[in-house]
Amino acid sequence: MPSSKDNRERKGPLRIVAKGGNGKLRLRIYQVLVLALFIVLWHVLTSPTLLPPIYFSEASHAAFFFGEPLQVLGRLWRWFATGEIYEHLWVTLVETMLSFFIGTVFGVAFGLWLALSPTASAILDPYIKAINAMPRVILAPIFFVWFGLGIASKVALGVSLVFFIVFFNVYQGVREVSPVVLANARMLGASPRQLLRYVYVPSAMSWVFASLHNSVGLAFVGAVVGEYLGSAKGVGYLIHQAEGFFDMNTVVAGILLLTVFALLLDWIVGVAEKRLMVWQPRSVETERT
Amino acid sequence: MSPALALENIDCTFLSRDDLSQRYTAVRNTTLVVGEGEFVSVVGPTGCGKTTLLNVAAGLLAPSAGEVKIFGSLLAGINTHAGYMFQSEALMPWRNSIENVVAGLEFRRVPRSEALEQGNEWLKRVGLSGFGGRYPHQLSGGMRKRVALAQMFILKPQILLMDEPFSALDVQTRQLMENELLDLWSADRKSVVFITHDLEEAISLADRVVVLSAGPASHPIGDYAIDLPRPRDVAEIRLAPRFNEIHARIWRAMKEEVLKGYAQQQRQ
């Protein structure tokens, strides 16, 4: 919370920040330019009428393999205009959120437990390594047998992916608690339970948030791969169906839609992180010593 | 009447976790008695097991042999009569100043409003009123030490264990903090064990200075009463002729140990 007095005292850094603000705007412009350039190139190279075919024997082949940006946009527009996408998007998002939350809760609980009981962690260590090394996507068929083709099997797949990321981070986070802070809390009279609540958990939180950014992406992977392998609803199902008809535009539209929502969820995690982790030094804030 | 703190024939031997035949005796056959209301400084060359001794007194570390008695009764587990001020940063970085100060009260389930009232009172006493909302990373090194002082004093411990608490501060801040500590201490004289490697700091603060030998197997080799008048100003007292006499006397005894400790570090 820099007061006006602090601002006056720190003229130097402020000037740099102002310059940095300009640079940031320029950076954004370049970033948008890259995207625009990519779309233009994509459009020019795939449009059957603009250029004579460079690589393919027929003009329409490029569009067949890579889709066309305008068609993709049109597909997205029709999805939302007719409302047919909502049902599928809803299913995918529910699956993603459920796997994200269940995986995170289990990961945190299990990570805390194992980090704080050395015996259990010593016994389970090889098995945890084995399960983590296993390519867990191949569990999908088993989950289909157990939970059917509905939402549950996709959630199970997503949870199996998210759980380990969060688990390992919490485990690490608890191990990295400063021994001095811990000893100090003990000297101040904290019981083992209070140590858990007031020292271990807050200290592990920064690691948890770092892992949540990865987890959001993996929760989507679980949902979409699950739908792709067997379902009747969801964006993954739409993509799978479109592939059956070689409808590349719909496939690309589905991918774009998923990307946007993954970014959105990641942004929400970022906002939560900023709110909950106010105690962490930020790079913009110079440390006063 | 039993002394506030009595370490009797303490041995501390550390075993290497990888190789049990590798052992290091940090402290051997050490006896240290601190009376009620007495301010004792323990000095010694670096790596002589001063912190080990303090951790034993705090109950954070169980000695290999010997007994720790607190007001006459045998210590088991954490020493609940003691407050501990650590050498390195010990504040919880996820708590702001006031939350750090009241942490001990919170652990003891003191009602929130009462805890905050006491916490603000203590922040004021260490000169940090208005800084309650700052997080440790937003405070300077000296301010963080003040928060740590308040955090310890708010629980009214009968024994203060201090492990080179001001060694990371610059000289001016350090003298300010030392005077502040003496002020707080003189308000209701607790027993203090103040560990330092700085002989001047030890003499200017304490009633008694205990000199430890160089490690390994360090033990007390000298015990000097400091008869300087109180109240003291740590900056001014260093200019007193009596201070220099005491300093010269203790330094003669310490010098050899310091050189020994230095030689040991060179060999490693």
Which residues in chain B (128-187) have CB-CB distances under 8 A to chain A? 133, 135-141, 151, 155
Residue A11 to residue B102: CA distance in whole angstroms: 36
Of the three residues A41, A66, A91, the one that is the final residue of a domain is A66
Closest CA to A99 of A212, A211, A220: A220
CATH 3.40.50.300 residue ranges in chain B? Answer: 5-81+160-267
The CA-atom distances, in angstroms, between B181 and each of A82, B176, B234, B243 are 74, 9, 11, 19
pTM of the model: 0.78
Same domain for A119 and A13: no
| A186 contact B CB<8A | yes
Two structure tokens written together for B95: 């708590």
User: Which residues have a Cβ under 8 Å from the Cβ of B125 and sit 6 or more positions away?
Assistant: B150, B153, B184
Tokens (6 digits) for A24: 């940031």
Structurally, chain A folds into a number of domains equal to 2
Does A38 share its domain with A101? no
Q: Is residue A286 part of a domain?
A: no
Give B264: exposed, middle or buried? Use CB within 10 Å, 0-12, 13-18, 19+: middle
**Contact predicate B86/A184, CB 8 Å:** yes
On whether both A163 and A43 belong to a single domain, the answer is no
Are the beta carbons of B80 and A189 separated by less than 8 Å? Answer: yes
B151: which 2 tokens? 């955090």
Enter the DSSP assignment of B24.
Answer: E
Query: Which residues of chain A does B135 touch, with a Cβ-Cβ cutoff of 8 Å?
Result: 278-279
CA distance B64 to B57: 13
ipTM of the complex in this document: 0.88
Q: Are residues A9 and A149 both part of a single domain? A: no
3-state SS, residue A223: helix
Compute CA distances B195 → A174, B14, B258, whole Å: 30, 21, 16
C-alpha span between B157 and B161 (Å, rounded): 10
Q: How far apart are CA A122 and CA B112, in angstroms?
A: 40
Residue A133 CA to residue A131 CA, distance in Å, equals: 5
The one-letter amino acid code at B98 reads I
Pairs of residues, one from chain A and one from chain B, whose beta carbons lie less than 8 Å apart? 76
CATH code assigned to B5-81+160-267: 3.40.50.300
Of residues A183, A189, A279, nearest to B60 (C-beta): A183
Is the N-terminal amide bond of B231 cis, ω within 30° of 0?
A: yes
Backbone angles phi, psi at B49, to 5 degrees: 85, 25
What string of pLDDT tens digits covers the 289 residues of chain A?
Answer: 333 334 434 444 444 444 455 778 899 999 999 999 999 988 888 877 777 666 777 767 777 888 888 888 999 999 999 988 899 999 999 999 999 999 999 999 999 999 888 898 889 889 988 888 888 888 888 999 999 888 999 999 999 999 999 998 898 888 888 899 999 999 999 999 999 999 998 888 888 888 888 898 899 889 999 998 888 888 889 899 888 888 888 999 999 999 999 899 999 988 988 888 877 776 545 444 4
